[in-house]
Amino acid sequence: MSIDKKTLSIAIMSGKGGVGKTNIALNLAYALYDLKNSAILMDCDLGLANLDVLLGVTPEKNLQDLLDPDLQARDIVISLEDSRLDFLPAATGVPELANWDSDIQSILLEKLNDFFHNYDYLLLDLEAGIGNTVTILGAMARLKCVVITPEPTSLTDSYALIKILSSQRGIRDFLIIVNMVKTRREGELAFERLQRACRHFLGIEIALLGIILRDSAVSKAVLSQTPLCKLEPESMAYRNIKEIALKINKLDTDVLSTDSALDMDMLNLDIHLGH
C-alpha cells in the first residue's frame, strides 16, 4: 500500500440513541471490504463502547493504550479479515478520553491519522447526541452520515445535531440514512420531513444516502454477537446496507478525500470562531 494513498473517512452519527449506528458502521465496513476495499472500523463511542460486543471479540488493548509512547496503532488494532478489514477498539470509563482533553486529542490523532492512510475507508462509530466526541471527531470526517428513524423524537434530535454541527463547525453537507422503516416510502417521508426543516430553518440541503428496512435479522445478529453480514448475508437489512456501500464506493474519492483522513483543522476551529 502506498503511503500517499487517500482515505475516505465516514462518521456515523445520530441525534437520538439506539437508532442502529453501530450495526450500520459495522456492516458497512464489511460491505465496503467485500467491494475489494480495505477499511478500518473505529469505535468512537467513548462512553459506552460496544462494537467489540457486536463483533464478538475481546480486545486486549484499546484507544487508551495509544497514550503509551511505546505503543502504536498497529499494536492495538484487531484484524477482522486478512488485515484489510481492521477494528480499533475504544476505551470506556476514561473521562480524559471521553472529554477529549486537548493534549490527549493531539497525541491520539497524530498517531492515528498517519496510520489511517493504510486504508481506503475509515468508519467512525460515534456516540449518540451532541457531546464533544461527536462535534470534534464527527466534524473531522469527510462524510458526515446522520442515522435517523421515522420516530418524531429521532427527527427532532437529528435536526438538533445538524443545527449544532452547522452553527459550531460550519458543516453543511450531511448524508442521511433512514433505518428501521416498514417500507421505503416511510423512509422517504421521514427524510423529506427532516429535509424541509433543515432547508427552511437552517438553509441546509441534506441528501438521502439510503434506507434500511426494519428486519428481525439485525437483532438476531446482535444476540448471537455475529455481524449481520456473516449470519444473514441475504437479509433485507444487509442488502440495504450493501446498496449504501455501493453508492459510497461510486463517489469520486479523489475529489472527496483530503490529504489526511481526519481534517486536523477542525481541532483548532474553536479558536478560528473565537469561542
Q: Which position among 237, 245, 266, 267 is part of the footprint of ligand ATP (CB under 6 A)?
A: 237
Contacts of 132 (CB under 8 A, 6+ apart): 98, 99, 100
Q: Which residues pair with residue 79 across a beta bridge?
A: 86
- In the list Mg ion, ligand ATP, none, the entry touching 212 (Cβ below 5 to 8 angstroms by class) is ligand ATP
Site track 183-212 with ligand ATP (rule: CB under 6 A), x = hit:
-----------------------------x
Under the binding rule (CB under 5 A), the answer on residue 21 touching Mg ion is yes
Among 9, 14, 37, 154, binds ligand ATP (CB under 6 A): 14
**Amino acid letter at 131?**
G
CB 51 within 8 A of CB 96: no
- Is 51 a binder of ligand ATP (CB under 6 A)? no
Q: How far is the CB of 12 from ligand ATP (least distance, A)?
A: 8
Cβ proximity to ligand ATP: between 90 and 237 the closer is 237
Residues 208-227 that bind ligand ATP (CB under 6 A): 212, 214-215, 218-219, 222
> Are the C-beta atoms of residues 16 and 130 closer than 8 Å to each other?
no
Among 22, 27, 64, 118, binds Mg ion (CB under 5 A): 22
From the list Mg ion, ligand ATP, none, which binds 215 (C-beta under 5 to 8 Å, kind-based)? ligand ATP
What's the CA gap between 42 and 59, in Å, rounded? 13
Using the minimum distance from each CB to Mg ion, give the nearer residue, 136 or 197.
Answer: 136
Q: What is the rounded distance in angstroms from the CA atom of residue 173 to the CA atom of residue 183?
A: 26
Residue 205 burial (C-beta neighbours within 10 Å; 0-12, 13-18, 19+): exposed
Chain centre distance of CA 67 = 23
Residue 50: CB minimum distance to Mg ion, A = 6
- How many chain residues are in contact with Mg ion, going by CB under 5 A? 2
**Distance of alpha carbon 5 from alpha carbon 168, whole angstroms:** 30
